[in-house]
Structure 1
Amino acid sequence: MDTPDDYDSPWKDAVERYFPEFIAFYFPHASQQINWARGHEFLDQELRAVVQDAELGKRFVDKLAKVALQDGSERWVYVHLEVQSSAQAEFAERMFVYNYRLYDRYRQPVASLAVLADTTANWRPNHFGFAVLGCEHELRFPAVKLLDYAADQDQLYHNPNPFALVTLAHLLTQATRQDMNARFAAKWKLVQLLYQRGWDKQRVIDLFSVMDWMMRLPEQLKRSLWHNIEVLEEQEKMRYVTSVEQLYSEKWMQQGLLQGRLEGEQTGEAKALRRLLQKRFGPLPEDRLARLQTASVDELEHWLDRALDADSLAEVFSQ
């Protein structure tokens, strides 16, 4: 049985909880054709069974959902979704392979949709196929580039769709990689937006979880943000984020327990980073495992930030 992955779970959780909003935000034309009143069903185990020997790349999310259409028919169709984290030559081929394997299994139409969350502006795959001896076989799929939303950040701040906020968090994380003070300011602004939307507690918690995972901060700035959130929740009389301790890898503790907390944080950070690196790059060499065990929390967080976008293990640990 597959174990949960700390790397992709916040993205996956958000997609699963708010799937209609996800499709409406990134693929509005497709959303209009889906009969959401009939519900939808995720088929992740089925997806794993179909593509288990076709692992051609790494990504934030891959999902398979069954939905009904607005055309009045009783049939169900399948939506195959990929959120790709880095530019990769084989990505379009993977979409093609997954699409025809899913069709082969279900004998029903399969819509493959892609969200490109990489930093390579000119990488925009949207088709794959071949033609030989008069035979043509091609898949063309809608692909949304998150970088394209950077020019409309003001609109994202005012868009009520939760994935406008997720997109903002993604863009601001990339823009502030070299400036943690700027990241702190951007993250605090997004946190305030969470409470201004009038959303229920669960939605605030879910979206904060995604933002907190993306926009990692050094310990001192993390404490400052926590203080700001506590003050905000007291003012708004909303004990939302600060009431759910299990969302965070570290908890507020008394000063006398500080050393124990830091030691626990190092162990947790090292474990999460090891799982992420193994998921992306395969088994780790002994020297890399040793570095993880002896690294400081700041080093681990620095490597974790790199690991989200790096194309190789060497790039993660480079000086």
Structure 2
Amino acid sequence: MTEITANYDEPWKAAISEYFESFLSFFYPEIYVSINWQKKPVSLDKELEQITASATTEKRYADKLYQAWLLDNQEIWILIHIEVQSQYDREFSERMFIYNYRVFDLYNKPVISLAILGDENPSWRPNSYQYGLEKSQMRLDFAIVKLLDYQWEELEANNNLFAIVVMAHLKTKSTTSNLTEREQWKWQLVRSLYDRGLTKFDIINLFKFIDKMMTLPPELESNFQTKVNQYEEEQRMEFLSTIEELAIERGQKIGLERGAKETYRQNILDLLERRFNSLPETLVKAVNEIDDLAWLKQLHLETITVSSVSEFEELLSRRNSTNI
């Protein structure tokens, strides 16, 4: 299975963003009962970007950062990390330590570090990081949850929405080499959304999480969509098909991305022409063929600083040679 087949990070982040209270209630009930939920927690996305940008490790895995208040009104920051590696990662504990101290260093806030371990190694359970010599020691202990520890029957009986997210994660992992079985489990999990008596809002949200995580090849995805549409017709659902809503959303997202790419391409060419008068047709063609939005953004910045057309062409040439 290729990396694109299963998408873990995006659904987990989206689920936590939409249902943060349910997340703590399900995974960390002892922390949940200590939070003052009369004050709505604040997602600190910009602060998280600053923290990860300042870290010196090559990997940037920290997922969510929240500002919350305890029952005594003490402010705390909650740093959540989702780890879905399939093997031992010796840098994991150090990474948890780095993000924790960066929060304190940059913002001088008390930090609670939490980790969700979604890997397949039952014996890998890192929960601390320590370094030092003799009596001079530095240590961070952090709370972990191992998804492999959950029993399927308990998840089925649990009304918390994150029970479904965990079920989708576990079945995505276990069907790595059997995508036909994954399609069957995907349908079973989606069907359970209707049977649980959830609201339309929650059904659509959880459907999105499951759909993004349990990605299927086109033929199996078509079979799955047919099952969903038939079921909604049989049950005479009064709202627009979940599949159709997702299709509309995807179309809008694709349209926005395409528009952004076209804008960046045109801005790059306009700036180059303004600075250096005429441009070779080969360069114009090369820019118009770039489909990587991140690369277009970087090129747009480079357009301002390059000293000549040939220097810009060299940038394109180096990029193309590294992608061969």
**Normalized against structure 1, the TM-score is what?**
0.72
Alpha-carbon distance, 1:217 to partner: 1.9
Alignment-derived partner of residue 196 in structure 1? 195
Deviations 1:219-254 (A, max 9, x none): 22211111110111122333341331234589xxxx
Distance across 1 between alignment mates of 2:124 and 2:319: 31
* Match status 1:172 vs 2:163: no
Alignment-derived partner of residue 83 in structure 2? 84
Q: Which SS does the other structure have where 2:15 is aligned? A: helix
CA RMSD of aligned residues (A): 2.7
Q: Which SS does the other structure have where 1:38 is aligned? A: coil
Alignment-derived partner of residue 25 in structure 1? 26
Distance across 2 between alignment mates of 1:223 and 1:55: 44
* Match status 1:67 vs 2:68: yes
Alignment-derived partner of residue 246 in structure 1? 248
* Match status 1:147 vs 2:148: yes
Distance across 1 between alignment mates of 2:241 and 2:60: 30
**Which 5+ residue runs of structure 1 have no aligned equivalent?**
1-5, 251-269, 275-283, 291-319
Distance across 2 between alignment mates of 1:105 and 1:39: 23
Distance across 2 between alignment mates of 1:8 and 1:39: 24
* Match status 1:215 vs 2:214: yes
Distance across 2 between alignment mates of 1:82 and 1:215: 21
Distance across 1 between alignment mates of 2:219 and 2:96: 42
Alpha-carbon distance, 1:287 to partner: 8.4
**Normalized against structure 2, the TM-score is what?**
0.71
**Which 5+ residue runs of structure 2 have no aligned equivalent?**
1-6, 253-290, 296-317
One-letter amino acid of the structure 2 residue matched with residue 207 of structure 1: L
Q: Which moved more, 1:96-105 or 1:161-170?
A: 96-105
Task: State whether residues 209 and 247 of structure 1, in contact with CA within 8 Å, keep that contact through their aligned partners in structure 2.
Answer: no
Alignment-derived partner of residue 97 in structure 1? 98
Q: Which SS does the other structure have where 2:38 is aligned? A: helix
* Match status 1:162 vs 2:164: no
Q: Which SS does the other structure have where 2:93 is aligned? A: helix
Task: State whether residues 8 and 213 of structure 2, in contact with CA within 8 Å, keep that contact through their aligned partners in structure 1.
Answer: no
Distance across 2 between alignment mates of 1:186 and 1:9: 20
Alignment-derived partner of residue 299 in structure 2? none
One-letter amino acid of the structure 2 residue matched with residue 100 of structure 1: Y
Alpha-carbon distance, 1:75 to partner: 2.6
Q: Which SS does the other structure have where 1:242 is aligned? A: helix
Distance across 2 between alignment mates of 1:183 and 1:241: 19
Distance across 1 between alignment mates of 2:142 and 2:10: 25
One-letter amino acid of the structure 1 residue matched with residue 242 of structure 2: V
Alignment-derived partner of residue 109 in structure 1? 110
